[in-house]
C-alpha cells in the first residue's frame, strides 16, 4: 500500500475514533524526509509553526497538535519566547526529546540571557543539545560570532537566520555568504514568490537548509480562496484541500527542506501533514497553480 493511501486510511480511522485522539500512533505512514546539506541528518518535510496554543500555554491542545505531527514521522517545531518552554515540556511529556527537532529564536545581544533561556529549554525538553538556534537577521548579523560560538561549544547543533519579509533578504544573504549559516527560514508561497528570485537559489548554491514560513500568509490565504472550488486537476498531484494546494506548491521548490504550518487545530494539522504524501506538482503544473491563484487574487 502506498504511503498516501496508508495516510488516508489512518486519518479516516482517527476521525472515526476522535474520542480516543491521538491514539492512531505507531502504525501511521511516515512523512518523507529531505537531507540537511553537508550532514548525514535529514528533516521530515512538514513541520509546525509557533501556534497560539503554544503562545497561550494551552498544553492540552499543544499536545494534540504535536502528537499528530510526531505520529506521522514529523519532527520540526518552530517556537520562540515563552512558547518554547511549552513546546519543550510537551516534547518531554511525550518522551520525544530524540525525535522532535526544536527550532527556536535566541537574541544574540545579551549572551547571558540567551544562554539562560537555552539551558532552561534543554532542561524542560530533556534534550542533551539544542537542535537549531536561529534569529532575525537584524539580531543575528551583528552577533553572528556569538552564534557560532554557541555551535562550536556544542550548545546547539545548528544556527540560522529567519525572517518573513523581502526587505530582510539582503541582510540574510549577507550572513549566508559567510558560509557558516546552517538554516535559512524565509517566507514563500503562491502569494509571496519573491524568495524564488535570489535567496532560495543562493541557499541551494551554498548548501543551506531551508524552512519556509507563512505558507498561508498567516491565514489570509484561506480568506482569499474561500468560496472557490479546488480545481479538479489538483487531484493529478494528490491534492485534496486548499491547504495542500499551497503546501505542495512550496514543497515542490527544490530548495525547500521543510514547511512550517501554524495551527492550533489537530484536524488542520492532519490536513497539512497530508500534503507531504503522494505526488508533487511538476514545473508545468506549478506555473498553472500560479496562474490559477492570480485569477483568484489578481
Ligand atoms: N521568523 C519569522 O520572521 C517568522 C515570521 C512569520 C512566521 N514564522 C514562523 O512560520 C510559522 C507559520 O507562519 P504564519 O504565522 O504566517 O502562519 P501560517 O501557517 O501561514 O497560517 C496560520 C493560519 O492558518 C490557519 N490554518 C493552518 N492550517 C490550516 C488548514 N489546514 N485549514 C484551514 N486553516 C488552517 C491557522 O488557523 P488554525 O489555528 O485554526 O488552524 C492560522 O490562522 C509561524 O508559526 C512561525 O513559526 C516566522
Core vs surface per residue 58-96: b (16+ CB within 10 A) or e: beebbbbbbbbbbbbbbbbbbbbeebbbbbbbbbbebeb
Q: What percent of the chain is predicted at pLDDT more than 90?
A: 86
Q: Where are the alpha helices (DSSP H) in 252-282?
A: 266-274
Q: Would you say the CB of residue 215 lies under 6 angstroms from ligand 1?
A: yes
CA of 1 to the centre of ligand 1 (A): 32
Question: How far is the C-alpha of 4 from the C-alpha of 122, rounded, in Å?
Answer: 35
In 215-286, which ranges are E strands?
A: 258-261
Ligand 1 pocket, mutate which of 54, 86, 138, 213 (most atoms under 8 A from CB) = 213
Average pLDDT over residues 230-234: 98
Instruction: Give 28's pLDDT tier (boundaries 50, 70, 90).
Output: confident
* pLDDT for 69 beyond 50: yes
Please give the average per-residue pLDDT across 169-176, as a whole number. 96
Residue 157 has pLDDT above 90, yes or no: yes
- List 159's β-bridge partners, or say none: 133
Calpha distance 99→102 (Å, rounded): 10
Q: Ligand 1 in contact with 260 (CB < 6 A)?
A: yes
- Higher-confidence residue of 115 and 1: namely 115
Is 198 in contact with 177 (CB distance < 8 Å)? no
Is the confidence at residue 67, as pLDDT, over 60? yes
Q: Is the pLDDT of residue 124 over 90?
A: yes
Q: Class assignment of domain 3-296?
A: alpha beta
- CA dist 231 and 245 (Å) reads 10
Instruction: Kindly report the pTM of this predicted structure.
Output: 0.93
The pLDDT of residue 258 is: 98
Mean pLDDT computed over 155-181: 96
Report the interhelical angle of 266-274 vs 3-16 (nearest 10°): 170
Average pLDDT over the chain, rounded to whole?
A: 92
Q: What is the pLDDT of residue 10?
A: 61
Residues 277/66, Cβ–Cβ less than 8 Å: no
When pLDDT is cut at 50, 70 and 90, the band that residue 2 belongs to is low
Question: Is the separation of the CB atoms in 234 and 280 below 8 Å?
Answer: no
Share of the chain above pLDDT 70, in %: 91
Contacts of residue 276, defined as CB under 8 A and 6 or more positions apart, other chains included, come to: 31, 32, 44, 45, 46, 72, 247, 251
Q: Per residue in 141-153, pLDDT tens?
A: 888 999 999 999 9
Is the pLDDT at 208 greater than 50? The verdict is yes
* Per-residue pLDDT tens digits for 102-123: 999 987 678 899 999 999 999 9
**Which residues fall within 8 angstroms of residue 60, CB to CB, at 6 or more apart?**
none
Q: Which cell numbers in the block locate residue 1?
A: 500500500
Structural domain boundaries of the chain? 3-296
Q: Residue 24 pLDDT > 60, yes or no? A: no
Statement: residue 12 has pLDDT above 60: no
Q: Is 108 in the pocket of ligand 1 (CB under 6 A)?
A: no
64 CB less than 6 Å from ligand 1? Answer: no
Q: What is the pLDDT of residue 168?
A: 97
Tell me which residue has its CA closest to atom 8 in ligand 1: 213
Q: Is the CB of 213 under 6 A from ligand 1?
A: yes
DSSP 229: P
pLDDT of residue 253: 98
Strands 209-213 and 101-105, by their bridges, are unpaired
* Nearest residue by C-alpha to atom 47 in ligand 1: 49
Indicate if the pLDDT at residue 18 is higher than 70.
Answer: no
Q: How confident is the model at residue 22 (pLDDT cuts 50, 70, 90)?
A: very low
Average pLDDT over residues 234-257: 98
**pLDDT level of residue 215 (50, 70, 90 thresholds):** very high
For ligand 1, atom 18: residue with the closest CA? 218
Amino acid at each position: 500500500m502506498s504511503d498516501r493511501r496508508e495516510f488516508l486510511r489512518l486519518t479516516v480511522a482517527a476521525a472515526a475514533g476522535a474520542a480516543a485522539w491521538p491514539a492512531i500512533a505507531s502504525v501511521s505512514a511516515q512523512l518523507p524526509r529531505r537531507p540537511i546539506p553537508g550532514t548525514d541528518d535529514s528533516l521530515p518535510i512538514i513541520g509546525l509553526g509557533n501556534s497560539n496554543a503554544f503562545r497561550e500555554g494551552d498544553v492540552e491542545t499543544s499536545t494534540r497538535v504535536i502528537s499528530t505531527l510526531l505520529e506521522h514521522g514529523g519532527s520540526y517545531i518552530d517556537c520562540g519566547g515563552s512558547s518554547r518552554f511549552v513546546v519543550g515540556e510537551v516534547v518531554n511529556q511525550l518522551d520525544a526529546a530524540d525525535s522532535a527537532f526544536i527550532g527556536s529564536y535566541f537574541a544574540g545581544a545579551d549572551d547571558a540571557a540567551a544562554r539562560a533561556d537555552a539551558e532552561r529549554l534543554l532542561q524542560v525538553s530533556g534534550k542533551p543539545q539544542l537542535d537549531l538556534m536561529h534569529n532575525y537577521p537584524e539580531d543575528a548579523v551583528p552577533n553572528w560570532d556569538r552564534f557560532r560560538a554557541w555551535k562550536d561549544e556544542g550548545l546547539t547543533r545548528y544556527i540560522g537566520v529567519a525572517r518573513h519579509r523581502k526587505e530582510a533578504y539582503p541582510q540574510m544573504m549577507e550572513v549566508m555568504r559567510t558560509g557558516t549559516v546552517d538554516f535559512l527560514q524565509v517566507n514563500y508561497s503562491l502569494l509571496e514568490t519573491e524568495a524564488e528570485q535570489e535567496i532560495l537559489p543562493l541557499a541551494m548554491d551554498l548548501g543551506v537548509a531551508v524552512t519556509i514560513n507563512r505558507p498561508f500568509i498567516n491565514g489570509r490565504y484561506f480568506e482569499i480562496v474561500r468560496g472557490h472550488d479546488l480545481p479538479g486537476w489538483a487531484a493529478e498531484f494528490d491534492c485534496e484541500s486548499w491547504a495542500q494546494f499551497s503546501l505542495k506548491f512550496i514543497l515542490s521548490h527544490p530548495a525547500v527542506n521543510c514547511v512550517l504550518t501554524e495551527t492550533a487545530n489537530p484536524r488542520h494539522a492532519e490536513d497539512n501533514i497530508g500534503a507531504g504524501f503522494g505526488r508533487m506538482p511538476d514545473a508545468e503544473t506549478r506555473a498553472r497553480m500560479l496562474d490559477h491563484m492570480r485569477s483568484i487574487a489578481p
